[in-house]
Amino acid sequence: MALELYIISGSPHAWAVMLGMEIKELKYATHRLDPSKKEHKTDAYFALNPYGKVPALKHDNTVIYESIAILAYIDQLSPKGSLFGVTPKQIGLIWQRVFEITSYLRAPLVDDVVRPIFQGRFTDNPNKIHEISVNAHTALTWAEDIFAASPYLTGSEISAADVVLMPYVQSFLRATGMPSAKLLGDVFLPLVSSFPNLAAWAKRVEALPGYDRAYPPHWRG
Kindly state whether residue 12 participates in binding ligand GSH, applying the rule CB under 6 A: yes
* Encoded amino acid at 11, one letter: S
- Distance in Å, CB of 151 to ligand GSH, minimum: 25
Distance CA 87, CA 67 (A): 23
Binding residues with ligand GSH: total (CB under 6 A)? 12
Q: What residues have CB less than 8 Å from 144, skipping those under 6 apart?
A: 195, 196, 197, 198
- Distance in Å, CB of 101 to ligand GSH, minimum: 11
- Distance in Å, CB of 53 to ligand GSH, minimum: 3
- Distance in Å, CB of 195 to ligand GSH, minimum: 23
Give the residue with the Cβ less far from ligand GSH, 147 or 159: 159
Q: Is the dihedral of CA 40, 44, 48, 52 positive or negative?
A: positive
Give the residue with the Cβ less far from ligand GSH, 47 or 148: 47
Order across the sheet with 3-7: list the strands. Answer: 29-32, 3-7, 56-59, 62-65
Q: Which of 3, 6, 9, 13 binds ligand GSH (CB under 6 A)?
A: 13
Mark the segment that binds ligand GSH (CB under 6 A) among 9-17, 125-133, 139-147, 211-219.
Answer: 9-17
Q: What residues have CB less than 8 Å from 34, skipping those under 6 apart?
A: 8
Contact code string over 81-120 relative to ligand GSH, x by CB under 6 A = ----------------------------------------
Q: What are phi and psi of 117, to 5 degrees?
A: -70, -50
Computed on alpha carbons and rounded to an integer, the radius of gyration of the chain in Å comes to 17
Which positions from 14 through 73 interact with ligand GSH, judged by CB under 6 A? 40, 52-55, 66-68
Distance CA 120, CA 161 (A): 29
Give the residue with the Cβ less far from ligand GSH, 55 or 85: 55
Cβ atoms < 10 Å from Cβ of 111: 10
Q: Contact residues for ligand GSH (CB under 6 A)?
A: 8, 11-13, 40, 52-55, 66-68
